[in-house]
DNA sequence: GAGTTTGAAACT
DNA sequence: CAGTTTCAAACTC
């Protein structure tokens, strides 16, 4: 699967282990990997990525919820919660009940559609299998180079069947592959792990490497060189040795745009919010807020406490954004 | 641009 | 669940 090289985020613990900091690592959609079974929070998750919805996990109700592209959700079942439209507003389908206070309380979302979708080149799958990146990402093919494409409005029935088949095989088929690690882990990791044998996990064949994350214990790769101290990885990724720099910020190498606004600011004294409140920054902020919601859920806090925690987190995010700017 | 390699997804 | 096949992307020349 392909991912924009210049986008993506993560939430990392501060160097002293204190306040989490916003770092780029993944598109926002990748942040929503963990099911969110806390209903009171879930119903307030109106800031899901545009075009996404939370749906009950298909296989096992106890699993909570899984994130499914809204197009798929609406085709598979009556939407249990309001999807987020591409323009960031709540969908207006009459069968979807949206509590007015939620609707009123919603903050406007800046769409992240600026990330261009990579066209696929499928020839045999009809773009109805997970081989197809468009299909796997819950998107219709558009401006692709595919042949005999069924991943479009004209082939709704076939798409429906294909989606259902995928979910039957794997209820989490459309779950983002990159997510947070185990409880307490903040770094992102591949949810399934890779199975590379020959690439040393240092080529884009490797999903971990492609996502610019290191392989983890769940990977079943052979001859892996995609780990923290790997010299080959450092060379490939042009990561300076921690001893060579005072404050090592390796991810700035991979995701320069979120850090580049500092340089822009130096060059241009007149600053505008859009020069540093980029889509990636917004994505990272949403990721922090979701993480906070999950923490509240795990701690079984009440809704009001959860809201308080999330608001506090939002404040910290704002402070960091201002500091970075 | 054609051919090869690779590993995920699909299939048996 | 393991082995095999299919597939499309990544890579090489």
Q: Which residue's entry shows tokens 């340089």?
A: A263
Q: How far is CA A214 from CA A188, A207, A224, A299, in A?
A: 9, 10, 10, 29
Q: Which residues of A189-203 are buried (b: 16+ CB within 10 A; e: fewer)?
A: bbbebbebeebbbbe
Q: A297 is written with which tokens?
A: 């859920």
pTM assigned to the model: 0.49
Q: CA–C1' span, A173 to B5, in Å?
A: 26
Which pLDDT score, from 0 to 100, does residue A264 have? Answer: 39
Q: What mean pLDDT is predicted for residues A261-267?
A: 37
Choice between A301 and A9, residue whose per-residue pLDDT is larger? A301
Out of A139, A159, A175, pick the residue that ends a domain: A175
Asked whether residue A131, judged by its CB, lies under 7 Å from any atom of the DNA or RNA strand C, the reply is: yes
Q: Return the minimum-mean-pLDDT range out of A143-152, A166-175, A238-247.
A: A238-247
For residues A159 and A185, membership in a common domain is answered with no
Which pLDDT score, from 0 to 100, does residue A239 have? Answer: 59
Pairing status of strand A178-180 against strand A188-190: antiparallel
Q: What mean pLDDT is predicted for residues A268-275?
A: 44
Choice between A298 and A59, residue whose per-residue pLDDT is larger? A298
Measured between alpha carbons, how far is A26 from A4 in angstroms, rounded to an integer?
9
Asked whether residue A198, judged by its CB, lies under 7 Å from any atom of the DNA or RNA strand C, the reply is: no
Q: Which residue's entry shows tokens 């249990």?
A: A80
Asked whether residue A120, judged by its CB, lies under 7 Å from any atom of the DNA or RNA strand C, the reply is: yes
Contacts of residue A97, defined as CB under 8 A and 6 or more positions apart, other chains included, come to A82
| Full residue range of the structural domain in which residue A320 is found | 280-324
| Strand B, nucleotides covered by protein (CB < 7 Å) | 5-11
For residues A185 and A168, membership in a common domain is answered with no
Closest CA to A155 of A78, A75, A68, A95: A75
Assigned domain for A76 exists: no
Q: What SS3 state is found at A279? A: helix
Out of A228, A262, A296, pick the residue that ends a domain: A228
Out of A160, A175, A190, pick the residue that ends a domain: A175
- The count of domains in chain A is 3
Closest CA to A109 of A315, A255, A262, A277: A277
Assigned domain for A128 exists: yes
Which pLDDT score, from 0 to 100, does residue A71 have? Answer: 52
Assigned domain for A90 exists: no
């Amino acid at each position: 699967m392909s991912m924009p090289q210049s986008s993506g985020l993560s939430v990392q613990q501060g160097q002293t282990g204190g306040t989490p900091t916003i770092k780029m690592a993944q598109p926002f959609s990748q942040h929503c990997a963990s099911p969110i079974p806390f209903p009171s929070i879930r119903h307030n998750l109106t800031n899901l990525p545009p075009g996404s919805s939370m749906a009950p996990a298909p296989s096992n109700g106890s699993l909570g919820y899984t994130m499914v592209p809204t197009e798929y959700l609406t085709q598979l079942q009556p939407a249990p919660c309001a999807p987020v439209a591409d323009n960031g507003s709540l969908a207006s389908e009459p069968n979807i009940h949206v509590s007015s206070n939620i609707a009123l309380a919603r903050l406007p979302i800046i769409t992240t559609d600026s990330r261009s979708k990579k066209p696929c080149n499928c020839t045999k799958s009809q773009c109805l299998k997970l081989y197809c990146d468009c299909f796997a990402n819950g998107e219709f093919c558009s401006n692709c180079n595919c042949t005999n494409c069924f991943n479009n409005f004209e082939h709704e029935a076939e798409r429906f069947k294909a989606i259902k088949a995928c979910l039957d095989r794997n209820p989490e088929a459309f779950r983002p592959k990159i997510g947070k690690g185990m409880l307490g882990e903040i770094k992102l990791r591949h949810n399934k792990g890779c199975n590379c044998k020959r690439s040393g996990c240092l080529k884009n064949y490797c999903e971990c490497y492609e996502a610019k994350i290191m392989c983890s214990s769940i990977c079943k790769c052979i001859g892996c060189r995609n780990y923290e101290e790997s010299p080959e990885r450092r060379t490939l990724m042009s990561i300076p040795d921690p001893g060579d720099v005072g404050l090592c910020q390796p991810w700035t190498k991979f995701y320069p745009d979120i850090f580049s606004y500092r340089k822009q600011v130096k060059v241009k004294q007149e600053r505008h919010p859009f020069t540093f409140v980029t889509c990636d920054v917004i994505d990272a902020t949403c990721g922090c807020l979701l993480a906070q919601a999950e923490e509240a859920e795990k701690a079984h806090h009440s809704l009001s406490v959860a809201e308080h925690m999330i608001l506090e987190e939002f404040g910290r995010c704002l402070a960091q954004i201002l500091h970075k700017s």
